[in-house]
Chains A and B, each alone.
Chain A
Amino acid sequence: MLDNIKEFASEFFVTGDPLIYGADASIVLATIGIVFVLTYFKKWGWLWRNWITTVDHKKIGIMYILAAMLMLFRGGVDAVMMRTQLAFPDLNFLEPEHYNQIFTTHGVVMIFFMAMPLMFGLFNIIVPLQIGARDVAFPFLNSLSFWLFFAGAMLFNLSFVIGGSPDAGWLAYPPLSGAEFNPGVGQNFYIWGIQISGIGSLASGINFLVTILKMRAPGMTMMKLPMFTWSVFAASTTIIFAFPILTITLLLLFLDRFFGAHFFTLDGGGNPMMYINLIWMWGHPEVYIVVLPAFGVFSETVATFARKRLFGYASMVFAMVIISIISFFTWAHHFFTMGSGANVNSFFAISTMIIAIPTGVKIFNWLFTMYKGRITFPTPMMWTIAFIPAFVVGGMTGVMLSVAPADFQFHNSYFLIAHFHQVLIGGTVFGYFAGLYYWWPKMFGFKLNEYLGKWAFWFWNIGFYVCFMPQYLVGLDGMTRRISVFSNPDWIGLNIVSTIGAYLMGIAFLFQVAQIGYSIFRHEKDTTGDIWDGRTLEWSTPSPAPEYNFAVIPQVHSRDEWWEEKERRRRGEKPWQLGPIEPIHMPKNSAIPAIMSACWFVLGFGLVFHWLWMAIPGLIGVFICMFARSFSAHKAEYYIPVEEIERTEAKLRGGSV
């Protein structure tokens, strides 16, 4: 009996590596610490009522961002470990198997569990406030999206200490990811971690599309939408067309692994290249999904801090819509080397080059917005300005990669690695940081410390170039990705420099953590609600906004409505005529999203280990939750009475509405 348990545990838990034992210990200690703090300060009820069961878009957004920051830490540690292993030739810091796991989890964590939740966090906090709405269209579904993401992320991260991590690359190409060559449970964690959170992303895409189409303030036509909301619209549209492909692709891989189907196997007539086509039909739009909202953030910050109206509004909208359409017609550029022939490769090469044109239009629009503006340089604007050269270089190397014949040289080399990190960090991460610094006061009512923020900024930026510029060169020299050791003496210098850059970015992250920690304890409370002298409706609410956002929904007349309103007030003209306060219809909190996601987690965990006794109850739980919601949804609403709104408004605004 005892031997059986021992044998089971040695397979169930990941053993034999001191790094992992360290992680085990820190996970257990952190869990005990959290439980102790919550119990000691009697915060369980607070956690349950205010956070776990909340349907308030602003709180859900904060939870997304918190989770994304933790995942940024995990993905960042993976990155630093990889760069440490590659600092010198023939190092033995990581075993090859361990290295494979780490580059896999680094990619998955950064895209699915860092970029996506950071993006949804900003969507959640800002979109309803920008369009003058009280919440998203489906607040319950919104909460469910978050908890599905969370369940998926936890399931994926569990593979680190239980069962073993996936190790077939961030997109898990078969046959390497199939049952024959990868019999462990790591790839199962990959499939279900991403599948569960992907369903949440799909639901969020639908939710924000309906929100933007149906819940805008009166007078706000689509061509008066703030540009960030337009970018959310473009990204959400791309989500609802792209994510279903991912869902099916992962399902097919699951059927191959679990039931022995032959979609992507080498035998039985399967076709592995089919998987690679499918995954990139989702994967290419996905990179535009994460970068479009960053473009939206820059459009907001550049107008606010240049104190000018955004240049070329209509062309910005047009460019984003075109980008999200063309993004569906470039997928094969990820594998020009497949051998699909000159005609196919030409098509995808040209479509890839075309997509650079609307992107270039946007760059020029931002530059022209700054032209002759009275620019100030707080941290959000610094990230915006740093983005432009980073993205231009990243875009240019992208156009180089799109030249199909040349790609046979670049393919899977460090040149490619440098390219996509440059656009993903220089575009997406810089954009989300700009958004985070810009809207932080709206979320919490105070600005993040600018001094520490500037240290973080410079460490990030210098580290970024020091890390990735050498990778272009070493890639052109022939160093390929995903190798755990190298011995070519020509590559040594460039690799050392690159590793130094990675450490500089690690230090930058520590500065950001310090910045957030310091600002929480030492800050000046923002009483205006409009700390940057902003242009769009979110700045007309108090910071942080009350749960109902707007006591009275304003009537919109123009783009940058809040700026125009302030101009009217400055000129002494008649300000907004807001109607009387009426009772506000609000959704009630619900425990179903968290419980249902826990059932999904149980289902996923059972399928990872082929434990049907666990998976089936999980599936039944999911259905019970759906029925419970269907039968109770009509009772899940309430009204906030007028007196309570008046009291809240008086407290937040010091008496004047």
Chain B
Amino acid sequence: MAQSPAHGTDHHDHHAAGHHDPQDLKLLGFWMFLVTDVIMFGTLFATFMVLRGNTDGSITGAEVLEMNGIIISTFLLLTSSFTSGVAVLAMNQNKVKQMIIWLVITGLLGAAFLGLEVTEFIHLVHEGATLQTSAYWSAFFTLVGTHGVHVAVGLFWMIAIIIQIVRRGLNSDTRGKVTVFSLYWHFLDAVWIFLLSIVYLMEVM
């Protein structure tokens, strides 16, 4: 837990008293943000689990969910997580061009993932499963959709970072941004694993 007093003792080498490394602060702050995001997704997962059986006599997930698209989505997102990691490795070797290429690949994979998700939602709506159908579908669309919104925001964020690196090159500030973005992207990947298991696999098994 974050309350542990042990946190306080080590990281205090003030050579210039009062001047803290801003990247250090941002990284810790971003981890804290991820904690809050974990709680948000946790709440949505809990809601989904409670309302899973409440289909109100209408269609169930098992009837309309198609696993083929989901498997492809999973591979796209997992691969994009890997490529974002490769981008960070390239950044650590100061290979700016390579890094940008890997980031662009990450973005394309993410966009493809989103495209598949939108296709899936359209398919579900055609089958008659909407946010208004039953508590089960409300929880389904909200949970999966929140993850999708996170991916979409991540794409815009990444574009903004790439533009800044093209303009200003790599420095401690832009490096920090790429590091934090990659953290975010891996986090979305981890959330998706839970989504896949709980929302999809448990439903169709």
B142: A residues at CB distance < 8 A: 251-252, 255, 261, 263
Chain B neighbourhood of A216, CB < 8 A: 8, 12
A552 CA / B25 CA spacing, docked (Å)? 21
| B118 on interface, CB distance cutoff 8 Å | no
Which of B32-40, B80-88, B100-108, B184-192 contacts its partner? Answer: B32-40
Contact of A244 among B28, B37, B131, B157 (CB under 8 A): B37
User: Bound state CA distance, A271 and B28, in angstroms?
Assistant: 38
Contacts of A278 in B (CB 8 A): 43, 47
- Which stretch from A286-294, A497-505, A578-586 is at the chain B interface? A578-586
Residue in A267, A268, A271 whose CB lies within 8 Å of B50 = A271
Are B24 and A214 in contact (CB-based, < 8 A)? yes
B165 → chain A closest CB, angstroms:
12
B25 and A138: CB pair below 8 A?
yes
Write the chain A residue with the least CB distance to B19: A585
Instruction: Name the B residues within 8 Å of A202 (CB-CB).
Output: 36
Q: A216-B12, A552-B17, A630-B164 are in contact. Are A260 and B43 (CB under 8 A)?
A: no
| CA–CA, A18 and B5, complex, Å | 57
**CB-nearest residue of chain A to B14:** A218
Q: How far is the CA of A332 from the CA of B168 in the complex (A)?
A: 53
- With known contacts A268-B132, A268-B135, A585-B19, A262–B56 Cβ distance under 8 A: yes
CB of A270 within 8 A of CB of B135, answer: yes
* A379 in contact (CB, < 8 A): no
B44 interface hit (Cβ, 8 Å): yes
Nearest residue, chain A, Cβ from B157: A630
Binary contact track B127-155/A, C-beta < 8 Å → 1, others 0: 00001111110110010000000000000
Is B20 part of the binding interface, using a Cβ–Cβ cutoff of 8 Å?
Answer: yes
The tally of residues in A whose CB lies under 8 Å from a CB in B reads 67
Residues of chain A within 8 A of B28, CB atoms compared: 210, 213-214
Q: Which residues of A contact B70 (CB under 8 A)?
A: none
A27 at interface, CB cutoff 8 A: no
Which residue of the partner chain, among B2, B8, B43, B44, contacts A237 with CB atoms under 8 Å?
Answer: B2
State the majority secondary structure of interface residues on A.
helix
Please measure, in the bound complex, the distance between the C-alpha atom of A202 and the C-alpha atom of B40, giving whole angstroms. 12
- Whether the pair A209, B25 counts as a contact (CB closer than 8 A) is no
A241 adjacent to B35 (CB under 8 Å): yes
Which residues of A lie under 8 Å from residue B164 when comparing CB positions? 630-631
Interface string of B73-97 (1 = CB under 8 A from A): 0000000000000000000000000
User: Number of contacts between A and B (CB, 8 Å)?
Assistant: 164
A209 contacts B3, C-beta separation under 8 Å: no
Cross-chain contact A268 with B17 (CB below 8 angstroms): no
State whether the Cβ of B71 lies closer than 8 Å to any Cβ in chain A: no
**B39 in contact with A241 (CB, 8 Å):** yes
Residue numbers in A under 8 Å from B139 (CB-CB): 263
Cα distance, A237 to B77, chains bound together (Å): 32
B124 part of interface (Cβ distance < 8 Å): no
Q: How far is the CA of A623 from the CA of B155 in the complex (A)?
A: 13
B2/A262 in contact, CB under 8 A: no
B3 shortest CB reach to chain A, Å: 5
The contact of A248 among B1, B12, B40, B168, by CB within 8 Å, is B40
B156 x A221 contact (CB < 8 A): no
Q: Give complex CA distance A220, B164 in Å.
A: 38
Closest Cβ of chain A to B57, distance in Å, is 8
Give the most central of A202, A324, A634: most B CB within 10 Å.
A634
What are 30 inter-chain pairs, A to B, with CB distance below 8 A? A202-B36, A206-B33, A206-B36, A214-B20, A218-B12, A219-B12, A220-B8, A221-B8, A237-B3, A244-B40, A244-B43, A245-B43, A247-B40, A249-B43, A252-B142, A255-B142, A256-B138, A260-B132, A261-B142, A262-B134, A262-B135, A262-B138, A263-B47, A268-B132, A324-B3, A552-B17, A585-B18, A630-B160, A630-B161, A630-B164
Q: B residues bordering A, Cβ < 8 Å?
A: 1-3, 5, 7-9, 11-12, 14, 16-20, 24-26, 28-29, 32-33, 35-37, 39-40, 43-44, 47, 50-51, 54-56, 131-136, 138-139, 142, 156-157, 160-161, 163-164, 168, 173, 177
